[in-house]
Amino acid sequence: MHTNADKKTTATPPVHRELDVETIRADFPILNERVNGHPLVYLDSAASSQKPRSVINALLEYYRRDNANIHRGLHTLAERATGAYEHTRTHIAKFINADEPEEIVLTRGTTEAINLLAYTWGEQNIGEGDEIVVTEMEHHANFVPWYQLAQRKGAIIRRIPITVCGHLDLSDIDTIINSRTKLVTVVHMSNVLGTINPIAEIAAKAKKHGAIVVSDGAQAAPAMPIDVKDLGVDFYAFSSHKMLGPTGVGVLYGKRHLLEAMPPFNFGGEMIQEVRFDKVTWAELPHKFEAGTPNIADVVAFDAALHYLEDLGMENIHRYERDLTAYAIERLSELPGLEIQGPRETEQRGAAVSFTDPDIHPHDISTFLDSHGIAIRAGHHCAQPLMRVLGKVATARASFYVYNDRSEVDTLVEALKDMRKYFCL
Amino acid sequence: MSSSLDDMYRDIILDHYRAPRGSKPLPMADIHSDGHNPSCGDDIEVNIQVEDDILKDIHVNCKGCAISVASGSMLAETVKGKTFVEVQRIAEVVKAMLKGDEVEIPDDLGDLDALKGVRQFPVRIKCALLAWVTLIEGLKHYADDPKGAKPSVSTEKED
């Protein structure tokens, strides 16, 4: 592999640098699109981010120069493809400060990573009367697999509630996490409220009772530095496509001793060591969990996304998003009646800002904004239990990333003003 | 304003949305039916007072997007005072029209014609359909078992 991204492997992340958004925007070809006669204002990165040219090129280059199946061919292309695929795994391990690449299992996405965990670790370790602790702000991807597991096993789901400000309410945490708790799973950053949860603090509580700690990092991994050791988690899941990478790639980080004790998820090629008619043994980590031909090209291109993020610096990204989110909340607060969900202060908050209008349904908001070229998300955001807690059927959500700027927030706010005139006169 | 947006939110639709018809609750009703689209969060309740074979009065209570509210309001306006047979025919025509089936649209549909624009927005068709499917289920249920429990319907598949 000889992509531009690879040449930058040794670059050290810059510290305390302002993002040069104009330069960043020039790296994203899609931002030149016009939508319904307006320049695209893409405020839906929490659903899926856009991709820089380096990622798009890495994908093309892989198919042009290196494409082959991995781990079994003995020819040059197979070696190149295998090398590139495994290079991304090593890079991911470094990106989240895992001990070794063997702790990185590649999946189709966060959802598959969590299902893998529920079907392997969960099947093996959860029994009748055991307790699984979730929070009220989980995405369905980090709730339904555990709910299903609890149904199968006769286990009990307990939940950490949220405060009116949109933080986790930890006042009863010592009752909720107790000696019957086997697993505690907490979203690192809420896709609806934007809240960044105190994973390390909750993990410490869980550890006191010997419980396993899982965190859904789908929103956090794109937005801030991730250190799985500082977080104190046993498992951490996230997706490439929300962090400038291709769709169809997810990551399950797991501590080696836990992954080793787990049974395989899927069975077939690649995941075996030896197969006889009367005996099958499993491959070593992480291949035990990666049956069949994986999503090679997208994994290879994910490496370029990680490079792009590292070149910007995750700390810089986090700081930039905080500033932009504070500005968005300030501007949105000007709109009469508009209700913003989640924390107002941006210290423990990411760049997903959900809001509701007292009179206009989120789907009408989204359709109206789309006619102005503005892409937001409207609906329950795959968090129906949270919607119930908030007393909403749906919200509109604007989410920001490295290529968004204040002028786009202004465009959103002006369009929302026009919307009131359009629907309410 | 883009033309397709105004195609969906026609003036007639916005008028119904801002001042929904049939919003006055009925003292007593013979037909009750509920519609619910959990993914959208659209909720509708249709109550009808029957006299002989005429739908004498109707109350539609809809909480949802502009399209679902306007569709429910148009439904209330359209079916009031019509016979069962007429209403069933209209409801089936509207359903077919929204789903994009080739149907002959009768002249007496009035404002309902404005719903055609919704077809350009495939994800919103279910919003316009909800009131009509809720009505159809209510009528069917009333014909089968007038005293039975009220039906509950949805026009969206589970996500």
A6 alpha-carbon distance from chain centroid: 24
Question: What pLDDT, in 10s, does the model give residues A15-57?
Answer: 578 899 999 999 999 999 999 999 999 999 999 999 999 999 9
Question: What pLDDT, in 10s, does the model give residues A372-425?
Answer: 999 999 999 999 999 999 999 899 999 999 999 999 999 999 999 999 999 886
Last residue of a domain, one of A275, A309, A343: A309
Question: Do A117 and A251 belong together in one domain?
Answer: yes
In chain B, the number of structural domains is 1
Query: If you measure CA to CA, which chain B residue comes closest to A361?
Result: B65
Residue B64, chain A, CB below 8 Å: the answer is: yes
Specify the pTM.
Answer: 0.91
* Active-site choice (A55, A126, A353, A382): A382
Q: Closest partner residue to A363 among B1, B5, B40, by Cβ?
A: B40
Question: Do A293 and A244 belong together in one domain?
Answer: yes
Rounded to whole angstroms, the Cα distance separating A323 from A416 reads: 21
Question: What pLDDT, in 10s, does the model give residues B17-37?
Answer: 999 999 999 999 999 999 999
Residue A180 sits in a domain whose CATH number is 3.40.640.10
Please give, rounded to a whole number of angstroms, the shortest distance from the CA of A250 to a CA of chain B.
21
Q: Which domain holds residue A407?
A: 313-424
Residue B127 sits in a domain whose CATH number is 3.90.1010.10
Rounded to whole angstroms, the Cα distance separating A204 from A418 reads: 49
Residue B65 and residue A371: Cβ atoms within 8 Å? no
Question: Do A243 and A384 belong together in one domain?
Answer: no
Question: Do A263 and A117 belong together in one domain?
Answer: yes
Residue A410 sits in a domain whose CATH number is 3.90.1150.10
Question: Do A262 and A325 belong together in one domain?
Answer: no
A382 in active site: yes
Query: If you measure CA to CA, which chain A residue comes closest to B127?
Result: A363
Question: Do A127 and A94 belong together in one domain?
Answer: yes
State the pLDDT at residue B111. 84
Residue A358, chain B, CB below 8 Å: the answer is: no
| Number of Cβ pairs < 8 A linking chain A and chain B | 53
Residue B15, chain A, CB below 8 Å: the answer is: no
**With 50 as the cut, is the pLDDT of residue A214 above it?**
yes
Question: What pLDDT, in 10s, does the model give residues A106-138?
Answer: 999 999 999 999 999 999 999 999 999 999 999
Residue B110, chain A, CB below 8 Å: the answer is: no
Residue A379, chain B, CB below 8 Å: the answer is: yes
Question: Do A230 and A336 belong together in one domain?
Answer: no
Question: Do A132 and A240 belong together in one domain?
Answer: yes
Give a three-class secondary structure readout of chain A.
CCCHHHHCCCCCCCCCCCCCHHHHHHCCHHHHCEECCEECEECECCCCCCCCHHHHHHHHHHHHHHCCCCCCCCCHHHHHHHHHHHHHHHHHHHHCCCCCHHHEEEECCHHHHHHHHHHHHHHHHCCCCCEEEEECCCCHHHCHHHHHHHHHHCCEEEEECECCCCCECCCCHHHHCCCCEEEEEEECECCCCCEECCHHHHHHHHHHCCCEEEEECCCCCCCCCCCHHHHCCCEEEEECCCCCCCCCCEEEEECHHHHHHCCCCCCCCCCEEEECCCCEEECCCCHHHCCCCCCHHHHHHHHHHHHHHHHHCHHHHHHHHHHHHHHHHHHHCCCCCCEECCCCCCCCECCEEEEECCCCCHHHHHHHHHCCCEECEEECCCCHHHHHHHCCCCEEEEECCCCCCHHHHHHHHHHHHHHHHHHHC
Residue B92 lies in a domain: yes
Question: Do A318 and A270 belong together in one domain?
Answer: no
Residue B40 and residue A394: Cβ atoms within 8 Å? yes
Question: Do A255 and A330 belong together in one domain?
Answer: no
Query: If you measure CA to CA, which chain A residue comes closest to B40?
Result: A379
Residue A361 and residue B66: Cβ atoms within 8 Å? yes
Q: Which domain holds residue B71?
A: 3-144
Backbone angles phi, psi at A160, to 5 degrees: -90, 120
What is the H or E stretch that residue B58 is in?
strand B54-63
Rounded to whole angstroms, the Cα distance separating A165 from A348 reads: 12
State the pLDDT at residue A188. 98
State whether residue B132 is helix, strand or coil: helix
Residue B42 lies in a domain: yes
Percent of chain A with pLDDT over 70: 96
ipTM, two decimals: 0.84
The dihedral built from the CA positions of residue A310, A204, A237 and A390, taken in this order, carries a sign that is negative
Last residue of a domain, one of A250, A274, A309: A309
Question: Do A300 and A325 belong together in one domain?
Answer: no
In chain A, the number of structural domains is 2
> Average pLDDT of A175-192?
98
Residue A371 and residue B4: Cβ atoms within 8 Å? yes
Residue A2 pLDDT class (50, 70, 90 cuts): very low
Residues of B within 8 A of A381 (CB-CB) are: none
Query: If you measure CA to CA, which chain A residue comes closest to B69?
Result: A361
What is the H or E stretch that residue B97 is in?
helix B84-99
Residue B124 and residue A368: Cβ atoms within 8 Å? no
Residue A10 lies in a domain: no
Please give, rounded to a whole number of angstroms, the shortest distance from the CA of A417 to a CA of chain B.
14
Percent of chain B with pLDDT over 90: 53
Residue B48, chain A, CB below 8 Å: the answer is: no
**With 80 as the cut, is the pLDDT of residue B146 above it?**
no
